[in-house]
Amino acid sequence: MDKSAVSRLIRDLKAVGILRAAPDPEDRRATILSLTPLGEKRMKKVFEQKGQVFLQRTAHWSTDELATFAELLRRFNTPQP
């Protein structure tokens, strides 16, 4: 994402009450972003929904298939030297 897209996204999330922004006390040029209680509630719901989808999609997988999937994800997410 470019800077203008990030700025719009932050503005929109603040406008709907999901995100708050405050100046960094150690560096006034920087901004500290944090979730509001509403943002935390929404994120919790999203993670729960994603977890349910994952469980539904893998419910019929064998232990070996799950182990292979986990190993492939680990390899995919490990940076190569």
pLDDT by residue (tens digit) across 6-57?
Answer: 999 999 999 999 999 999 999 989 999 999 999 999 999 999 999 999 999 9
Tens digit of each residue's pLDDT (9 = 90 or more) over 29-39: 999 999 999 99
Residue 52 is encoded by which pair of tokens? 């349910």
CA angle in degrees (0–180, nearest 5) for 76-42-7:
75
